[in-house]
C-alpha cells in the first residue's frame, strides 16, 4: 500500500484548524475550569513556578525576577508548598477535572523534594542544563532601557553565582550523607563545569550594542558590576567546584554507578520511577517490560534483514551499515539537511492525523559545540516570547561514529508530530489553565516523552518507513529506547556494573562506545529513571489507542483520539487514561 493509499484509507479529510480554534466536542469539560475548586490551588502552584523557574516566567511574558539557587532551603520551601496544596485537595476525586490531577501530581513531587534533594549530583551534564538556559533565555536576550534594568540584571547575575556556590555546598552535603561521587562520572562532571565557566564569562557580558540606550552612568555601572562579579565571585565559585571535584570529591569517590549502591538509594529510585511514569509501576516490572520489548524488536529487525536478502547476523549487518557512507553525515549541515528532508516528507500528511496543529514555526539548529560532549543526542527547545520558534538542537559532533539511519524517527520524535505538536500547541491554548498549558510538561515525563515516541511511530502507518532502511532505523530507534528500561533499572536497582551495562547496551544498539558511555552515565549518575519515561509513555499511549480502536471499530477517528490525548495539555498518564475512557463512554 502506498503512502497516499494509507492516508486515504483512514477515511478522513485533510481539513486542519490551528490551535486558536475550538478543537472538538470533548473539550467541553475544560471550559468550566473557572468554577473548578482546584483552580485556586493551580493558581498558587503556577505563581510559585513562575517565581522560581525562569522559563515559566518567560513563557508567561513576565520579567525574570530571580533565578533558582539550587539550595536545600529552596527545596524545603517548595516541599512545604506541595504538602499544603495536597492538603487543600484533600481526598476529593480527580475525576472531575484534569486541573486537579495536575495539581495533585506536581504537588506530590514537590512534597518529597526536600527528601529527594540529595539524590542528584548538581554538576552532572543534564543537571547543569539549567545553567545553559540561564544564558540562552535570561541573560543573552535581556534588554536594557533604564537603571532599574541594570540593577535587575546584576541581581540575576548574583543569583547565578549563588547557584554555583550552592552546587559546591550540595556536593559536600551529599558526601556527609554517604552519597559519594561516582568515579566514572568525574571526567564528565569536570568537563561540564569547565564549559559552563567559559560560557558564563561570555554571556554575562552584554555587547555594547545591547546597552547603547543606557545613559553613561548606568552603562558604566553595568560593565563594572558584571566585571567585578565575574572576577570576584563567579569564577572563584566555579573554581571551588572544580577544586572539590579534583580533591575531596575524587578522594572519597565510589567506583560504581547507580542509586542502588547508596543507603536508601533503591527506595529513592522507586520514588523516581513512580514520578516519571505518573502511574503506579514497580522498577522490577519495568525491567521485565524492557526485556520483552527488546526481544520483540530484535525479531523485527531480523525480519527486515531477511527481506533485504542479508544472510549474516546482526553484528555483520551493523558493520555494513556503519561502513555505508549513506548513513553518515559529512558535517553538521548534512545532519540538518537530513532532518529537514524527513520533515518535508511528513508535513503533507499531518492534517490527516491531526485536527489541530500549533501555530509556532519549527526548525533544527546545532547545539553550542562546547556543550555537546556531555549529551548523546540533543533536545527540543520550545518557543518562548523572545524566541518564538520551536527547535531541535542537535549534537553535531563525532559524526564519523554517529550513524544517521534513525534520523527520521528521531526528528519525528523531537519536532513534528512529537514534542512540538504538544508543547507548542498547549502553550497556545488559552482554554487550558496556564499550569497545564505551560507548567506541566516538565513534571510529566512519561506524557512528554511517551507522546513523542508514539508520534514517531506513526511514521509506520503514514508510510514514511516503507523504505527498508528507514524502517530498520525506526526499529533500531525503538529498541534503543526500550533497552533503557533494562539498563536504567539494571544499574539503579539490580546492581549492574558499568561493564555489564556497557556490554548489554552495545549488543542491542548501534551507538558508538562514546555514546554508550554517555548514556550509561546519564542513567546511573545524572538522571536516574528519567529515560524510562520514553518507552513507558509509548506503551501507555498505544495501549489506550488499541482500546479505542477495539471499542469504536468503524467509528474510530484517529484525529479525535489524538485530540483526546493532546487537548487537555500535559497530564499524568492516570488522567490521560481517564480522559480516554470518558471519551469512549460518550
**544 & 513 share domain:** yes
Those residues with Cβ within 8 angstroms of residue 430's Cβ, 6 or more apart along the chain or in another chain: 437
**In this structure, is residue 268 part of a structural domain?**
no
Residue 300 domain-assigned? yes
CA distances in angstroms from 273 to 37, 108, 164, 270, 359, listed in the order given: 30, 14, 28, 5, 34
Domain membership flag for residue 365? yes
How confident is the model at residue 20, as a pLDDT?
A: 41
**Residue 246: inside a domain, yes or no?**
yes
Question: Residue 279 — left, alpha, or beta (φ > 0 → left; ψ -120 to 50 → alpha)?
Answer: beta
Res 396: pLDDT: 85
**Residues of the chain where predicted confidence (pLDDT) is lower than 70:** 1-35, 92-96, 374-376
Q: Are 224 and 168 in contact (CB under 8 A)?
A: no
Cα 95 → chain centroid: 27
In a domain, 510, yes or no: yes
323 plus 386 within the same structural domain: yes
90 and 24 together in one domain: no
Q: Give start and end residues of each alpha helix (H) in 429-526.
A: 434, 445-461, 468-492, 498-508, 513-521
Instruction: Report the distance separating Cα 478 and Cα 470, nearest Å.
Output: 12
Question: Which of these, 517, 520, 523, lies nearest to 401 by C-alpha position?
Answer: 517
Q: How far apart are CA 185 and CA 521, in angstroms?
A: 6
Residues 442 and 563 in one domain: yes
User: Do both 251 and 334 map to the same domain?
Assistant: no
Containing structural domain, residue 76: 35-259
The predicted structure's pLDDT at residue 195: 95
Q: Extract the C-alpha cell encoding 294.
A: 527488546
Q: Which of 65, 516, 70, 539 is nearest to 286 (CA)?
A: 539
In a domain, 267, yes or no: no
Q: Is the same domain home to 202 and 320?
A: no
User: Residue 272: helix, strand or coil by DSSP?
Assistant: helix
State the pLDDT at residue 36.
Answer: 79
User: For 195, what's the count of Cα atoms within 13 Å in the CB-facing half-sphere?
Assistant: 23
- Neighbouring-strand partners of residue 353: none
Please indicate, yes or no, whether residues 156 and 206 belong to a single structural domain of this protein: yes
For residues 286 and 537, give the distance between their C-alpha atoms in angstroms, rounded to a whole number.
12
Which of the listed residues 209, 228, 259 is the one where a domain comes to its end? 259
Q: What is the pTM of this model?
A: 0.86
Out of 224, 259, 294, a domain closes at 259
Answer yes or no: are the C-beta atoms of 572 and 444 closer than 8 Å: yes
Supply the pLDDT for residue 539: 98
Q: Are residues 67 and 184 in the same domain?
A: yes
Considering 259, 289, 314, which residue would you say is the last residue of a domain? 259
Q: From CA 560, how far away is CA 565, in angstroms rounded? A: 9
Sequence-separated (6 or more) residues with CB below 8 Å from residue 87: none
Structural domain includes residue 108: yes
Q: Which helix (H) or strand (E) holds 378?
A: strand 378-381
Q: Is the dihedral of CA 275, 280, 283, 288 positive or negative?
A: negative
DSSP per residue over 401-416, as a string?
A: G---TTHHHHHHHHTT
Q: Answer yes or no: is 299 within a domain.
A: yes
H and E: helices and strands count for the chain: 27, 5
d(CA 448, CA 532): 12
Q: Are residues 179 and 240 in the same domain?
A: yes
Same domain, yes or no: 427 and 479: yes
**How does DSSP classify residue 18?**
E
Q: What angle do CA 430, 434, 81 make, to 5 degrees?
A: 165
Are 486 and 294 in contact by the 8 Å Cβ rule? The answer is: yes
Q: What is the dihedral of CA 540, 545, 550, 551, to 10 degrees?
A: 100
* Same domain? 119 vs 21: no
Whether 495 and 409 share a structural domain: yes
The sign of the dihedral angle between the CA atoms of 399, 404, 410, 415 is positive
Domain count, the chain: 2
Amino acid at each position: 500500500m502506498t503512502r497516499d493509499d494509507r492516508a486515504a484509507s483512514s477515511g478522513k479529510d485533510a481539513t486542519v484548524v490551528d490551535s486558536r480554534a475550538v478543537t472538538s466536542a470533548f473539550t467541553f469539560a475544560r471550559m468550566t475550569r473557572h468554577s473548578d475548586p482546584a483552580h485556586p490551588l493551580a493558581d498558587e502552584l503556577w505563581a510559585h513556578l513562575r517565581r522560581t523557574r525562569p522559563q515559566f516566567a518567560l513563557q508567561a511574558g513576565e520579567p525574570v525576577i530571580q533565578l533558582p539557587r539550587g539550595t536545600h532551603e529552596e527545596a524545603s520551601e517548595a516541599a512545604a508548598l506541595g504538602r499544603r496544596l495536597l492538603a487543600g485537595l484533600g481526598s476529593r476525586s480527580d475525576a472531575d477535572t484534569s486541573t486537579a490531577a495536575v495539581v495533585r501530581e506536581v504537588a506530590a513531587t514537590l512534597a518529597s523534594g526536600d527528601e529527594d534533594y540529595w539524590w542528584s549530583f548538581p554538576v552532572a551534564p543534564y543537571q547543569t542544563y539549567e545553567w545553559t538556559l540561564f544564558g540562552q533565555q535570561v541573560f543573552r536576550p535581556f534588554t536594557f532601557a533604564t537603571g532599574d534594568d541594570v540593577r535587575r540584571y546584576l541581581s540575576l547575575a548574583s543569583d547565578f553565582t549563588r547557584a554555583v556556590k550552592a552546587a559546591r555546598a550540595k556536593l559536600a552535603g551529599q558526601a556527609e550523607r554517604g552519597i559519594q561521587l561516582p568515579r566514572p562520572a568525574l571526567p564528565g562532571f569536570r568537563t561540564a563545569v569547565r564549559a559552563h565557566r567559559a560560557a558564563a564569562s561570555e554571556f554575562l557580558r552584554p555587547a555594547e550594542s545591547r546597552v547603547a540606550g543606557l545613559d553613561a552612568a548606568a552603562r558604566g555601572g553595568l560593565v563594572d558590576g558584571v566585571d567585578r562579579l565575574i572576577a570576584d565571585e563567579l569564577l572563584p565559585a566555579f573554581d571551588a567546584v572544580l577544586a572539590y571535584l579534583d580533591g575531596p570529591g575524587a578522594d572519597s569517590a565510589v567506583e560504581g554507578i547507580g542509586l542502588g549502591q547508596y543507603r536508601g538509594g533503591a527506595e529513592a529510585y522507586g520514588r523516581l520511577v513512580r514520578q516519571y511514569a505518573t502511574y503506579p509501576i514497580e522498577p522490577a516490572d519495568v525491567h521485565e517490560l524492557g526485556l520483552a520489548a527488546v526481544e520483540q524488536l530484535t525479531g523485527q529487525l531480523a525480519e527486515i534483514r531477511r527481506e533485504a536478502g542479508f544472510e549474516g547476523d546482526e553484528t555483520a549487518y551493523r558493520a555494513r551499515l556503519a561502513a555505508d557512507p549513506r548513513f553518515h553525515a559529512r558535517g553538521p549541515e548534512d545532519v540538518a539537511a537530513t532532518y529537514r528532508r524527513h520533515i518535508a516528507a511528513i508535513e503533507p500528511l499531518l492534517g490527516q492525523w491531526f485536527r489541530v496543529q500549533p501555530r509556532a514555526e519549527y526548525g533544527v539548529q546545532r547545539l553550542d559545540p562546547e556543550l555537546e560532549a556531555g549529551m548523546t543526542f540533543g533536545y527540543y527547545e520550545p518557543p518562548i516570547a523572545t524566541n518564538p520558534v520551536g527547535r531541535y538542537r542537535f549534537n553535531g559532533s563525532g559524526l564519523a561514529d554517529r550513524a544517521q539511519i534513525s534520523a527520521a524517527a528521531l526528528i519525528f520524535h523531537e519536532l513534528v508530530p512529537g514534542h512540538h505538536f504538544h508543547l507548542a500547541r498547549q502553550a497556545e491554548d488559552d482554554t487550558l489553565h496556564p499550569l497545564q498549558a505551560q507548567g506541566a510538561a516538565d513534571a510529566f515525563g512519561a506524557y512528554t516523552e511517551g507522546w513523542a515516541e508514539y508520534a514517531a511511530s506513526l511514521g509506520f502507518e503514514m508510510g514514511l518507513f516503507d523504505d527498508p532502511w528507514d524502517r530498520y532505523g525506526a526499529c533500531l530507534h525503538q529498541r534503543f529506547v526500550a533497552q533503557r528500561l533494562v539498563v536504567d533499572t539494571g544499574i539503579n536497582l539490580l546492581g549492574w556494573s558499568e561493564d555489564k551495562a556497557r556490554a548489554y547496551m552495545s549488543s542491542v544498539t548501534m551507538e558508538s562506545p562514546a555514546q554508550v558511555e554517555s548514556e550509561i552515565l546519564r542513567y546511573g549518575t545524572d538522571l536516574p529513571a528519567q529515560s524510562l519515561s520514553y518507552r513507558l509513555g509509548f506503551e501507555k499511549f498505544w495501549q489506550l489507542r488499541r482500546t479505542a480502536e477495539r471499542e469504536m471499530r468503524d467509528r474510530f477517528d484517529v484525529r479525535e483520539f489524538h485530540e483526546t490525548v493532546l487537548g487537555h495539555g500535559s497530564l499524568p498518564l492516570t488522567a490521560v487514561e481517564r480522559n480516554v475512557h470518558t471519551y469512549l463512554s460518550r
